[in-house]
Structure 1
Amino acid sequence: MIASLRGTVVHVADDALVIDVGGVGYSVSATPALTRVVSQGSEVFVHTMMIVREDSMSLFGFESRDELAAFSLLLGVSGVGPKSALGVLSHLTVPQIAQAIDADDDAAFRRVSGIGPKTAKLIVVQLAGKLVATASAAGQNLQPKTDISAQVIAALVGLGWSERVADEAVARVVSSGSAPTSATVSSLLRTTLAELGPARKEMGDG
């Protein structure tokens, strides 16, 4: 599977790029937000997902891992295909998706072409609790609750922290970049325990 591409842009359309990587041109479907900021001849790096069907193979490219993660989660919703998922990300930023889901606001998704009322409601229902909107220095940022994060939260709960405190601490560590990109359960747990250290001390002193 092709997980990312780095190369030279040889063609730009409203919803796609052609990226030359070592003499091979890859057609990559993308959001207008990405296609507007690149130009022919420029170098670009995109996170990609390859969708394989019986009669086609398609690449979808994203500027950030957050967008790729949101795209993947949207594909898991009944009735949402690659084009519809890309349509959502073309109309809503990742933080806006998280906020709409948290607010149970399916109207935000109904405004996307190809998303009907039933599918919009399913997006809100099926993605509830799977995305966490966390504050970061750059503004609102979305962090997907990965299996690793979930395991770390469970471990922290087992050590005596509340689920809310554990959840918030893991989200802070992930969004701040303190955890390594290839974090394991043990490495993320150690980093989060360091983050929670002062809180534990205050509890003990009380």
Structure 2
Amino acid sequence: MIASLHGTVVHVEDDALVIDVGGVGYAVAASPGLTRAAVVGTDIFVHTMMIVREDSLSLFAFDDRDELKAFSLLLGVSGVGPKSALGVLSHLTVPQIAQAIEADDDAAFRRVSGIGPKTAKLIVVQLAGKLVAPTTVTGQSVTAKTDVSAQVIAALVGLGWSERVADEAVSRVVNFDAAATSSTVSSLLRTTLAQLGPARKEMADG
């Protein structure tokens, strides 16, 4: 079982990567968010799930264990295959998936290509209680996008981060300090950049 890979990105496509690990190139399926963040020639670490079928052996790559867990849970839903599960993670972050399930909102899943109304409802029913939505403050999700957050995410995308990476970074800052939702754009941007900086340096240095 291949649980993770740490190597050099040698090829990037919309939904796949090739990672060189000790001279062996591993082709992995990945969400658009992960492939947008990948840069040829840089080091990368991904969590993986290997799926073995009679006629194929496939690797799926994820940014973190939360994504891996969500992917695994989605595969346990009748009618959801690897491609559809990856499609869900391409459209929704893990917190958004948890929130949709908690709110009994199957419409969020119907928007994913290949998932019909029946399967969308099954996702909500079968995954109830298995993913924890972010805590709330004064009845609103602390990850809800304020105008300030949206502007910071747009600024980070302009600086070269993928939208998903920027979105998750801002959400982490806001989750850590709820007062950050009322920060100015420049203040929240500085705080988020401070968190992203070391992570990007670590990835670049290997």
Match of 2:61 in 1: 61
Q: Stretches of 4+ moved more than 3 A in 1?
A: none
- Normalised TM-score (structure 1): 0.66
1:102-138 deviations in Å (ceiling 9; x for gaps): 00000000000000110000000000111112349xx
Match of 2:128 in 1: 128
1:77-125 deviations in Å (ceiling 9; x for gaps): 0000000000000001101100000000000000000001100000000
Q: Which deviates more, 20-29 or 125-134? A: 125-134
Match of 1:44 in 2: 44
**Mapped partners of 2:85, 2:38: distance in 1:** 22
Greater RCO between the two (CA within 8 Å, min separation 6)? Answer: 2
Match of 1:102 in 2: 102
Match of 2:30 in 1: 30
Alignment length (residue pairs): 140
Unaligned residue ranges in structure 1 (runs of 5+): 141-174, 177-206
Match of 1:8 in 2: 8
1:25-67 deviations in Å (ceiling 9; x for gaps): 0001000111111111010000000000000000000001100
2:50 maps to amino acid: M
Instruction: Please report the RMSD computed on the Cα atoms of aligned residues, expressed in angstroms.
Output: 1.6
Compare CA radii of gyration and give the structure with the larger one.
1
**Mapped partners of 1:8, 1:87: distance in 2:** 25
1:110-168 deviations in Å (ceiling 9; x for gaps): 000000110000000000111112349xx65xxxxxxxxxxxxxxxxxxxxxxxxxxxx
**Mapped partners of 1:19, 1:131: distance in 2:** 30
Partner SS for 1:36: helix
- Normalised TM-score (structure 2): 0.66
The 8 Å contact of residues 99 and 134 in structure 2, kept in 1 or not, is answered as no
- Identity fraction in percent: 81
Match of 2:92 in 1: 92
**Mapped partners of 1:135, 1:32: distance in 2:** 27
**Mapped partners of 2:18, 2:102: distance in 1:** 36
Q: For 1:55-204, what aligned pairs fall within 5 Å after superposition?
A: 55-135=55-135
